[in-house]
Amino acid sequence: MVRIAVEREEGVVNSTGSLSVNTGKYTGRSPDDRFIVFDDKTRDTIDWGKINHQFPSDKFEKLLEKMKKFVDDKELYVFDGFVGADPANRLPIRVINDHVWQSMFSRNLFIRPTKEELENHEPEFTILCINDFVAVPEVDGTRTDVFILIDLTRKIVLIGGTEYAGEMKKSMFGVMNFLLPERGIFPMHCSANIGKKGDTALFFGLSGTGKTTLSADPNRSLIGDDEHGWSDNGTFNFEGGCYAKCINLSKEAEPEIWNAIKPGAVLENVVLKDNVPDYDDNTLTENTRVAYPLDFIPGAVIPSVGGNPKVIVFLTADALGVLPPVSRLTREGAMFHFISGYTSKLAGTERGIKEPKSVFSECFGAPFMPRPASVYAKLLGEKIDKHNTVVYLVNTGWSGGPYGIGKRIKIKYSRAMVTAALSGALDTVEYRHDDLFNLDIPTEVDGVPPEILDSKNTWDDKDLYESSAKKLAEMFIENFKRFENVSPDIIAAGPKATQ
C-alpha cells in the first residue's frame, strides 16, 4: 500500500520508514460539521444541541447518491474489519476511501480480520470517506464544504471535504457510544492497560490529557489508547491501533511511541527536515499524529480485552494550574467529576482552538457521546459499585501558574503518580483534605517532590493562586447546574462555594 501511496504522490517514506502525509487544509476534527440523521430511531434518544446536530434523512440520501456518482470512475480502497475486540459485541464494518493512505489509517486503527473472518465478512456499518468530495452547503444541507454525517438507521457514515483521518475513528466511536448502552455495556473515552498481576486500569480523559502517553507504560501491557467498552465480561478495546500525538515527542519521555514510528505507521502533518521527522515543528499544526497498529507497542494485549478495573484514573489537563496533580475521589466525587468532565481543550485537535481553553466535556468525551450524560453516568455508577473501583483524579496540566506562566507537569511525575495509584501505594499514605475543591490529596508519592502535590506551593503569587482556584471552583458549580435529577450526594461531592 505504501508503494501505491507514494506513486500517487499522497506521501513520502521518511527516514523512519513510516509514511508521511499532510492532510492539507484541515489538521484537526471539525465538530461543528458533524451531524446525526434525525429520524424515529434518534428523535428521543440523542442529546440534541450544540454537540449533536440534526441532519434530515432525505438530504442524507441525496448526498449519498451524489457521492456514489462522484466515485463512479475513481479508484477506491476498501478495508473490511471490526470495531470492538469482544467477539460478542463487535461491529463488522467496511471503510471505503479515495486515498490509499486513509485506507492504511483504517487498517491500522480498526480491528483487522483473520483470513477466515475476511472471507465471510458481512459489514453491518459502512464508512464512506471521500476526502476529495466537497459539499456545497446550499445544495447539500451541510454547514460548510466539510461534513461528517452519521446515519444510525441506514448504518452509514459519510465523510467528505476533510482529510483529517481522526474523523473516521471518532465517528465510529460515536456509533458505538450510541449502540452499547442499549445492551448494558458502558462505552468509555479512555485508554486501558493491564499490570503483571492481571489488574486492568482505565484512564479517562479528553484529547491531550495523556490517555495515549500514560497508557504506554513499559511495566504494563497496553489494551488500547482511546476507546473501550465495559461489559459484564470485563473491558474491551474498540480499536486495533493507536493514534498518538507527535508534538514535542521525545525518545526519553515516550520511548514506546517513538519506537512505533516505523514502517507500517502513518505520520500526519509532521514536518520533515532532510526527510527526518522534526517533532518539535508545529508549522502545520500542534495536532501532529502517528497512526500504528496495536502490536507496534511491545507486549500489547491482542485480542484487546481486559478484566474489571479496581482502579480508574480520570485525567484532566488543567490550564489554570490550580487543581492538585493527584487526588483520590469518593464514589460520589467520581460521579461528580465524570459528569463535569473538566479539562482544557488543547490546541489543534479541534479546528479553531489555538491555545488551551477550559472546558467541561461531559463523560470526558462530550463530542463523541450521542446520548445524554446521565445514560453514561448511570453505567459508570453501576460498574464502580459492583467492582469496588477506586477513582483518582490526575491533573497532567499546568503547574507553577496557568498556561502562559507555568509549565506542564513533567511526564515522569504524572507517570509516578499513576504508578502509585495503580500499585496500591496510595492506599496507605496520608491524605489532606482540600476544602475548596473537596478533594483528598496524598501528601507523598514515590518519585514526586512532595511540595508539588499542593499546587499552591508551585505558584509565586499565592494571592493569584487563591483567586484562580476560587474561580475554577465556581466554574464547576455553575456548570453543574445544567444537570437535572442528579442526587444531592453527588452535587455535595463537588467543589464548595466560597463566602
Ligand X SMILES: Nc1ncnc2c1ncn2[C@@H]1O[C@H](COP(=O)(O)OP(=O)(O)O)[C@@H](O)[C@H]1O
458 binds, among Mn ion, ligand X, ligand PEP, none (CB under 5 to 8 A by kind): none
Minimal distance, residue 225 CB to Mn ion, in Å: 5
Site for ligand PEP contains 187 (CB under 6 A): no
> Which member of 243, 296, 342, 364 binds ligand PEP (CB under 6 A)?
243
- Closer Cβ to ligand X, 22 or 414, answer by number: 414
* 189 labelled binding-site residue: yes
Minimal distance, residue 388 CB to ligand PEP, in Å: 28
| Binding flags for ligand PEP, 320-349, as an x/- string (CB under 6 A) | -----------------------------x
Would you say 21 and 8 are in contact if contact means Cβ atoms under 8 Å apart? no
Would you say 455 and 423 are in contact if contact means Cβ atoms under 8 Å apart? no
Site for ligand PEP contains 229 (CB under 6 A): no
Would you say 372 and 45 are in contact if contact means Cβ atoms under 8 Å apart? no
Phi, psi torsion values for 80, nearest 5 degrees: -110, 130
Active-site residue, from 16, 29, 106, 151: 29
The C-alpha angle with vertex 255 and arms to 254 and 257, in degrees rounded to 5, equals 70
Site for ligand PEP contains 292 (CB under 6 A): no
In the three-class reduction of DSSP (H, G, I as helix; E, B as strand; rest coil), residue 23 is classed as coil
* 208 labelled binding-site residue: yes
User: Catalytic: 487?
Assistant: no
In 196-274, at which residue ranges do the beta strands (DSSP E only) sit?
200-204, 221-224, 227-231, 234-237, 241-245, 266-268, 272-273
* 210 labelled binding-site residue: yes
Site for ligand PEP contains 228 (CB under 6 A): no
User: Catalytic: 212?
Assistant: yes
For the record, the C-alpha cell of 440 comes out as 483528598
In 213-321, at which residue ranges do the beta strands (DSSP E only) sit?
221-224, 227-231, 234-237, 241-245, 266-268, 272-273, 276-277, 289-293, 305-306, 311-316
Q: Could you give the CA distance from residue 230 to residue 188 in angstroms, rounded to a whole number?
A: 8
User: Catalytic: 331?
Assistant: no
User: Catalytic: 328?
Assistant: no
166 binds, among Mn ion, ligand PEP, ligand X, none (CB under 5 to 8 A by kind): ligand PEP
Q: Would strands 186-194 and 227-231 be described as parallel, antiparallel, or unpaired?
A: antiparallel
- Closer Cβ to ligand X, 346 or 490, answer by number: 346
Alpha helices (runs of H) in 9-75, residue ranges in sequence order: 57-71
**Catalytic (active-site) positions:** 29, 170, 189, 207, 211-212, 226, 289
Binding residues for substrate: 29, 164, 170, 289
Binding residues for Mn(2+): 170, 189, 226
Binding residues: 29, 164, 170, 189, 205-213, 226, 254, 289, 408-409, 414
